[in-house]
Structure 1
Amino acid sequence: MPTQTAVTLKQLRALQAVAELGTISAAADALGLTPPAVHNQLKILENTFEVPLLTRSGTGAFKPTLEGQILLSCNAKVQSALNHAVQDIDALRRGDAGLVTLGVVSTAKYFAPGIVARLRRTHPAITVRLIVGNRDEIISGLESESIDLSIMGRPPRQPDVEAYAIGPHPHVLVADPDSAIARADTVTVDDIFRETIILREPGSGTRILAMRILDQMGQGRTYSSIEMGSNETIK
């Protein structure tokens, strides 16, 4: 029983050329080989399957036997698969195809689908996988290379990445419209620290920035806070 590894592309191409051109010499010219080299490839192939793969027609030209036709059909599929592989690899090299995993922090998830849709319109062969998480989760994905691109408020110190600004990212204090602080004409640091501050969960970039600003404003003062795991919950 022949094995798949016993058959080579060179042997299949020799069989294809002889079947199409009818003679070993013509096949050798087409393949850029000598007639003995083509004959040797055919002999190895026939010995592998232990059946004749070519027979002579009434005109003396070679034609494939039934077994030869089966191998030629297989060769056509192999060549087609190889051609597709070459095209796919070229598309990957050009950046026109493949899988891109985009990781976004939760605050970016509102406009991330629009970016994905635009990419799909310009590069329809690219598959985009969207992952939403907090800052620590997205950075972890960049470190493990399970995420290719990310959108976040500030680029991380580690891992080393190329970062590009795509727009402003303002941060403001938000209060209940019926609260005293919202109705006040001016707001002092004391006013802010009398309120209960709603913070995101540990690992959130918004939390990191908010706590840094509050520490600077309060110079070490303590304050009442509540942790919530998403912007939707805070709203």
Structure 2
Amino acid sequence: MGVVELRQMQVVVAVAEAGGFSAAGRRLRLVQSAVSATVRAVERELGAPLFDRTTHRVVPTAAGEAFVAAARMALSAVDQVHTAVDAARGVLRGQVTLGVMQGLLGGLPRAIGAMRRAHPGVVVRLRQAPADEIVDAVREGTIDLAVVALTGRRRGLVSVELVRDRMVALVGPSSNLPDTAVSLSELARNPFVDFVPGWAVRQAVDRAFRAAGVERAAVFETNDILTAAELVRADLGVTIVPSALAAGFPDLPTVAIARHAPTWTAGVVHRRDRLVPAATALLEHLEGWGGRAP
């Protein structure tokens, strides 16, 4: 039996992660035919198909899943070898993948920029997706660190709090609500822009209204903070968001919530096993950003 090369492992892993040959080619800057040829060569070498190919998608077989898991470990070991040599030379290099929950980018580019200035040899890949998808990717090892809302303990993961934020009402430009503070009862008299069930913001708002014994009528539900802001900007309703997110819409008035104001916590999660040096360095910069976050 011959030897499967590291580059071939990278190609197979990219196909599995991207879900197709064309997408993997774009990621690796290879033409699709080269990606397909590489996968076929590995399949011939191993004597087993690695992917089920259909018209619409490419899915790893059982052998493919086993290969991808082992290949990730091998590629990670190679990265650690290079990292160890660079560390001995006093140079930090490598790649770190940062997952970010939708709507939570905020001031993160400042932290990433500071990281890049301090360690220009480190490449930071950013992936934005729903929180559950991001956390699953951390468990699988395809994402090193994830910035998400902290809604409780996550099995097998370490959580580092960055921001604990008191939430505020975001209201339209023609709102008749008080400028200083507003109660949940007053907010409930207005059309309400809610986030979809399962979102951390929605969970915090639901808890606050239950604690206050107040019911609201959600006229709109969205899974996008920009859409929520547009609906409020058009005076179609009010919403409640963390003040750090409200700061991203300076044209919209924000009003403090007088009683039962919900709170929202964001932080970094990562696996319990040791982080690679590049991920550790990024975590330090994220912790600094958390301390300065609005």
TM-score w.r.t. structure 2 length? Answer: 0.44
Aligned CA distance change for structure 1 residues 211 and 145 (closer, same or farther; 3 Å): farther
Residue 229 in 1 paired to residue 210 in 2? no
Contact 2:192 2:219 in 1 (8 A): yes
Query: Shift of residue 146 of structure 1?
Result: 1.8
Aligned CA distance change for structure 1 residues 162 and 229 (closer, same or farther; 3 Å): same
More helix by share: 1
Aligned CA distance change for structure 1 residues 229 and 86 (closer, same or farther; 3 Å): closer
Aligned CA distance change for structure 1 residues 184 and 218 (closer, same or farther; 3 Å): farther
Distance 1:97 1:222 in 2: 51
Match of 2:207 in 1: 212
Residue 199 in 1 paired to residue 214 in 2? no
Query: Shift of residue 197 of structure 1?
Result: 1.9
Q: Which amino acid aligns with 2:144?
A: D
Q: Which amino acid aligns with 2:143?
A: I
Query: Shift of residue 131 of structure 1?
Result: 1.2
Contact 1:100 1:127 in 2 (8 A): yes
Q: Which runs of 5+ in 2 are unaligned?
A: 4-79, 230-294
Match of 2:116 in 1: 120
Q: Which amino acid aligns with 1:195?
A: N
Match of 1:157 in 2: 153
Aligned counterpart for 2:167 among listed residues 165, 168, 171: 171
Distance 1:143 1:225 in 2: 36
Distance 1:95 1:154 in 2: 33
Distance 1:100 1:165 in 2: 20
Aligned CA distance change for structure 1 residues 100 and 232 (closer, same or farther; 3 Å): same
Q: Which amino acid aligns with 1:128?
A: V
TM-superposition CA deviations, 1:171-196 (whole Å, max 9, x none): 1121223223x247763443222222
Distance 2:184 2:125 in 1: 43
TM-superposition CA deviations, 1:87-128 (whole Å, max 9, x none): 544337989222211111234312112211111111222211
Q: Which has the larger radius of gyration?
A: 1
Q: Which runs of 5+ in 1 are unaligned?
A: 6-84
Aligned CA distance change for structure 1 residues 92 and 105 (closer, same or farther; 3 Å): farther
Distance 2:205 2:94 in 1: 38
Aligned CA distance change for structure 1 residues 156 and 98 (closer, same or farther; 3 Å): farther
Distance 1:153 1:124 in 2: 29
TM-score w.r.t. structure 1 length? Answer: 0.53
Contact 2:184 2:209 in 1 (8 A): no
Note the 1:29-48 alignment, pairs <5 A.
none
Query: Shift of residue 222 of structure 1?
Result: 5.4
Aligned residues between the structures: 152
Residue 105 in 1 paired to residue 104 in 2? no
Distance 1:156 1:90 in 2: 38
Aligned CA distance change for structure 1 residues 185 and 116 (closer, same or farther; 3 Å): closer
TM-superposition CA deviations, 1:110-153 (whole Å, max 9, x none): 21122111111112222111112232222222222222112223
Aligned CA distance change for structure 1 residues 209 and 86 (closer, same or farther; 3 Å): closer
Distance 2:124 2:191 in 1: 40
**RMSD (Å) for aligned C-alpha atoms:** 3.2
More strand by share: 2
